[in-house]
Amino acid sequence: MALFSISHSTMMMKMKLIIPNNNTYFYSSSSSSNIANNNNSSSFFIRTRTPSPSIHHSGLINCCAKSGDQINEEIVKHKSVSVLLLAGGKGKRMGANMPKQYLPLLGQPIALYSFYTFAQMIQVKEIIVVCDPSYRDIFQDVSHKINVDLKFALPGKERQDSVFNGLQSIDVNSELVCVHDSARPLVSAVDIRKVLSDGWQNGAAVLGVPVKATIKEANCESFVVKTLDRKTLWEMQTPQIIKPALLRKGFELVNREGLEVTDDVSIVEHLKHPVYITEGSYTNIKVTTPDDLLLAERILNINAE
């Protein structure tokens, strides 16, 4: 496993952070692989392309159905969206001396990729970054380049605690809460708009992709119990979209009964509220290991060709 050793201050001095303009990202720093190998820095740019719309199935958690159409996307364009950007994780599996979401990906902190994507969307009125105070400057230093309100909240012990803390800071007029892992830098605006539309229509929606591998259930002794039907299985991603009142109601139940959840829409699942699945993209990976970091770099380079 590759081990990264990069100080926060060194990383920020080596980077030139320039907001994307006209779908072009400009960077001046070391690439992820160069940093891992301690090579010299380089300057380059990447022009992103608008992803081709994927075949898109949405539905209840246990049933596929048709997604929201262009009319719904046009409606949600005028809604007020509050983004909770979760950036407080420790990222121990990365083997780095800083949280994975702040490691440089082609010269820019991973967390800033989705930060910029959301900041350029007309629906987004504010971004609440849930992070340790020592990393707030990464976002504050570029706040003058965005046209949305920037707020901060403290991370909690568990993911649901971080979401709860961020929820307390949203604007009273917010109509949708959009929760996103900052370690997913490659989420596209196309997929975000689709899941926002489905979230507005259904109260709760989540990006996901159909499971491709064979999944087996095993017992505690590692013997196969049964093979699950993968046609009904989805891998959840983010963003996860929930209407504020519904999310608050879900937290009331979860906190009252001391329930633990591993993702955000699970909070409203406890209310027996249906959750829509919007098919996303397999490239919307979560950067968790050094291999993921190199894969994300490769995807960006391919998109630039």
pLDDT digit string, tens, across residues 205-226 = 999 999 999 999 999 999 999 9
Location of structure tokens 């949600």 = 76
Tens digit of pLDDT for each residue in 263-281? Answer: 999 999 999 999 999 999 9
pLDDT, residue 97, reads 81
Topology of domain 81-206+237-303, per CATH? Answer: Spore Coat Polysaccharide Biosynthesis Protein SpsA; Chain A (3.90.550)
> Confidence class of residue 70 from pLDDT cuts 50, 70 and 90?
low
What is the arithmetic mean of pLDDT over 4-8?
41
Domain ranges of the chain: 81-206+237-303
What is the arithmetic mean of pLDDT over 72-86?
86
pLDDT averaged over every residue in the chain: 82
Secondary structure (DSSP) of 97-162? SS-GGGSEETTEEHHHHHHHHHHT-TTEEEEEEE--GGGHHHHHTTGGG-SSEEEEE---SSHHHH
pLDDT, residue 11, reads 42
What's the token pair of residue 151? 């707020």
Of the listed ranges 3-7, 78-82, 113-117, 197-201, the least confidently predicted one is 3-7
pLDDT, residue 305, reads 79
> Confidence class of residue 184 from pLDDT cuts 50, 70 and 90?
very high
> Confidence class of residue 24 from pLDDT cuts 50, 70 and 90?
very low
What's the token pair of residue 195? 């899941």
- For the chain, how big is the Rg over CA atoms in Å? 19
